[in-house]
């Protein structure tokens, strides 16, 4: 009889262990949840979706502008921290911001003087960046409510966003039907797939404008080490418009073919292109050997060990080092000062509609625009 308490203790202990293990296993699944995020001045309501994978990585996305408001990544100690600039509430996004985490369209990057010709007809866009049109106009895709549908599969959670841009919205021809799908997998990778169709010829160049800071928003990104698989740059004039020819990165501050600290090229460096961009705000032509999704860039914060790999099907990337951040915006207990975040905006070249030597950005009826970009996070 004296053995009975011992046996009961053992059984209870086993039961507790089994229950604990089961609960742990239940937590190790991917989830998506939804909550109210606020209301726009016109009464439209915005929602915030939280995607969490089996490792505990979290991505928050709002259907207002398709904005990534939060993204966590692990450091070399296994500690997670938010690594994207943004805000915790809707109001600062509505008030105005430099495209933090936003979907950009109908045309990402700049179009010279807000004008282009298509099929013999002239089109005029809003001038919203110096003498040029930028990122879709006054009310681009970053400032509209998208129709959202949750995705919840065994090892992947995601958010499908849909928007119909009407003919001549912001000056662009054709009714464009756009679908953007964010998916988070258990490899700590966030993928973004963009598709679009049109009922008449138009121009399309979609991207995401997330500002990354792998320190966990503790300091600027000047010590980040960046690699970009590119031999060629699209040089710009003083208004950020391509001058019409490509330039080798060899022997310039734009050579990131090996991991290089950002500070090495823009701190106390005399270079015409660095001067024109105020730092890095240029388009790199990716060195492709075949079509499809390719690893084209890596970013590492040496102190935390956080490491980001970026893949795309696009032909180019706009690498931007937050040169216009000026400390006037704050969020997440951080002040967004100059060079506090970096962007890797996968895309076609700037001003392509006015530069026939560049790859075309024209989309015609019967065609489907389809591109994918993936950001994968780890620590080294």
Q: What is the mean pLDDT of each run of 10 residues along the chain (380 residues)?
A: 39 39 57 97 97 97 98 97 98 97 98 98 97 97 98 93 98 98 98 98 98 98 98 97 96 98 92 95 95 96 98 98 97 96 98 97 98 97
Distance from C-alpha of 27 to C-alpha of 283, rounded to nearest angstrom: 42
Are the C-beta atoms of residues 285 and 315 closer than 8 Å to each other? yes
Per-residue burial over 331-344, b = 16 or more CB atoms within 10 Å of its CB, e = otherwise: beebebbebbbbbb
Q: Tell me how crowded residue 200 is: count the other CB atoms within 10 A of its CB.
A: 14
Q: 3-class SS at 229? A: coil
Q: 3-class SS at 162? A: strand
Distance from C-alpha of 240 to C-alpha of 218, rounded to nearest angstrom: 30
Among the residues of the chain, which ranges form H helices? 3-27, 91-95, 263-266, 272-277
**How far from 254 is each of 144, 234, 297, 351, CA to CA, in Å?**
35, 10, 13, 20
Distance from C-alpha of 312 to C-alpha of 295, rounded to nearest angstrom: 7
Q: What is the pLDDT of residue 27?
A: 56
Q: What is the pLDDT of residue 165?
A: 98
Q: What is the pLDDT of residue 17?
A: 35
**How far from 339 is each of 61, 143, 257, 327, 346, CA to CA, in Å?**
24, 24, 21, 10, 19
Q: What is the pLDDT of residue 268?
A: 85
CA gyration radius for the chain? 23
Q: What is the pLDDT of residue 14?
A: 37
List, in order, residues 6 or more apart from 23 with CB less than 8 Å away. none
Q: Tell me how crowded residue 145 is: count the other CB atoms within 10 A of its CB.
A: 18
Q: What is the pLDDT of residue 153?
A: 86
Asked whether the CA dihedral 4, 8, 13, 15 is positive or negative, the reply is: positive
Q: What is the pLDDT of residue 8?
A: 38
Please list the active-site residues.
Answer: 209, 345
What is the model's pTM? 0.92
Q: Which of 113, 196, 134 is nearest to 368 (CA)?
A: 196
- In angstroms, the first-to-last Cα distance of the chain is 56
Distance from C-alpha of 244 to C-alpha of 234, rounded to nearest angstrom: 8
């Amino acid at each position: 009889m004296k053995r009975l308490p011992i046996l009961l203790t053992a059984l209870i202990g086993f039961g507790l262990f089994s229950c604990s293990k089961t609960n742990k296993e239940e937590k190790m699944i991917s989830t998506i949840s939804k909550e109210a995020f606020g209301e726009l001045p016109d009464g439209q309501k915005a929602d915030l979706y939280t995607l969490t994978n089996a490792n505990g990585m979290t991505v928050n996305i709002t259907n207002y502008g398709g904005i990534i408001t939060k993204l966590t990544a692990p450091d070399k100690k296994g500690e997670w921290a938010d690594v994207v600039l943004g805000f915790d509430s809707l109001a600062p996004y509505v008030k105005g911001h430099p495209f933090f985490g936003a979907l950009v369209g109908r045309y990402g990057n700049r179009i010279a003087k807000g004008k282009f010709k298509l099929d013999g007809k002239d089109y005029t866009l809003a001038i919203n960046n110096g003498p040029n049109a930028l990122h879709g106009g006054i009310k681009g895709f970053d400032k509209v409510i998208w129709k959202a549908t949750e995705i919840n599969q065994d090892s992947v959670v995601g958010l499908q966003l849909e928007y119909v841009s009407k003919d001549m919205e912001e000056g662009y021809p054709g009714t464009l039907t756009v679908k953007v799908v964010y998916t988070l997998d258990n490899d700590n990778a966030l993928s973004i797939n963009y598709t679009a169709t049109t009922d008449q010829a138009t121009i399309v160049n979609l991207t995401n404008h997330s500002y990354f800071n792998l320190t966990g928003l503790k300091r600027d990104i000047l010590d980040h080490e960046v690699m970009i698989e590119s031999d060629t740059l699209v040089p710009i004039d003083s208004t950020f418009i391509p001058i019409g020819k490509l330039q080798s990165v060899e022997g310039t501050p734009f050579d990131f073919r090996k991991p290089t600290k950002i500070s090495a090229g823009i701190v106390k460096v005399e270079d015409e292109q660095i001067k024109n961009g105020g730092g890095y705000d240029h388009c790199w032509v990716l060195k492709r050997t075949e079509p499809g999704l390719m690893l084209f860039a890596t970013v590492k914060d040496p102190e935390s060990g956080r490491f980001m790999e970026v893949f795309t099907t696009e032909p180019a990337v706009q690498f931007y080092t937050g040169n216009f951040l000026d400390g006037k915006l704050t969020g997440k207990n951080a002040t967004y000062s100059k060079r506090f975040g970096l962007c890797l905006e996968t895309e076609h070249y700037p001003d392509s509609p006015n530069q026939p030597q560049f790859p075309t950005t024209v989309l015609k009826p019967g065609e489907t625009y389809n591109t994918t970009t993936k950001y994968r996070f780890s620590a080294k």
